[in-house]
Amino acid sequence: MRPGMWLAAALLAGACAPKVVPWRVAKAGPVTLPAAQPTIPSTPPPKPVPKADFELIVSETVDSLEDDLGSYAKVYVDRQPAGETQIAAKSQDKTWEAVLPPGNHLFRFEEWYLPSTGDWTMLDPQWQPPERFIRVDPGQKTVVRLRFYDGGLRNKLEIERRPLE
């Protein structure tokens, strides 16, 4: 075969060979991460109270993660400050237990919020649950579940009694 033909063949093979197209890599632009969820302050759940005959569980239904900020509830029994729940996100159960003498006690629960900016704020009194009597019976544990919803504008209180363990 003449050299010219070899050259032609090589050229033809080169022309017919699959072409390698350089892969163009786009330069990465700046990446915007979503805003970090504010750190919700929290305190450890209170230690279980031995032989507690009263328990309060407070939580809230929230519409979005952005609304699920810190909250806690103060407890007043017979017009005296009796304690408060731990601090946690609104949607988390926050508890308070006590040993109370049997009888009909006057309770007031006061909900507090930590907004995204600023200091702790008490829920406006017009939206707080009204004070009310709740009976503690001997040999029984009174469990009160207090749920807030609609941005804290509404609440529901349920009372349950279980045999004391």
Among 153, 160, 162, 164, binds another protein (CB under 8 A): 153
- Please tell me whether residue 116 binds another protein under the rule CB under 8 A: no
CB of 145 to another protein, least distance (A): 12
Instruction: Output the six-digit token pair for 99.
Output: 């040993």
Binders of another protein in range 26-65 (CB under 8 A):
none
- What is the spatial distance between Cα 17 and Cα 51, in angstroms, rounded to a whole number? 86
Cβ 56 vs Cβ 95: under 8 Å: yes
**Count of C-beta atoms within a 10 Å radius of residue 147:** 15
Could you say whether residue 126 binds another protein (CB under 8 A)? Answer: yes
125 lines the binding site for another protein (CB under 8 A): no
Residue closer to another protein (CB basis): 41 or 103:
103
Q: Which residues contact 133 (CB under 8 A, 6 or more apart)?
A: 104, 105, 106, 107
What are 1's strand-pairing partners? none
Nearer Cβ to another protein (51/79): 79
Which of these segments, 16-24, 34-42, 112-120, 127-135, binds another protein (CB under 8 A)? 127-135
Q: Which of 4, 130, 139, 163 binds another protein (CB under 8 A)?
A: 130
Can you read off the two tokens belonging to residue 76?
């007043």
By CB under 8 A, the count of residues binding another protein is 14
Lay out the site mask for another protein across 73-112 (x = CB under 8 A, - = otherwise). Answer: -------------------------------x-x------
Nearest in space to 129 (alpha carbons), one of 148, 144, 150, 112: 148
Q: Name the minimum Å distance from CB 91 to another protein.
A: 20
Q: Buried b vs exposed e over 91-111: b needs ≥16 C-beta within 10 Å?
A: ebebbbbbebeeeebebbbbb
Which chain residues interact with another protein by CB under 8 A? Answer: 104, 106, 124, 126, 130-135, 150, 153, 156-157
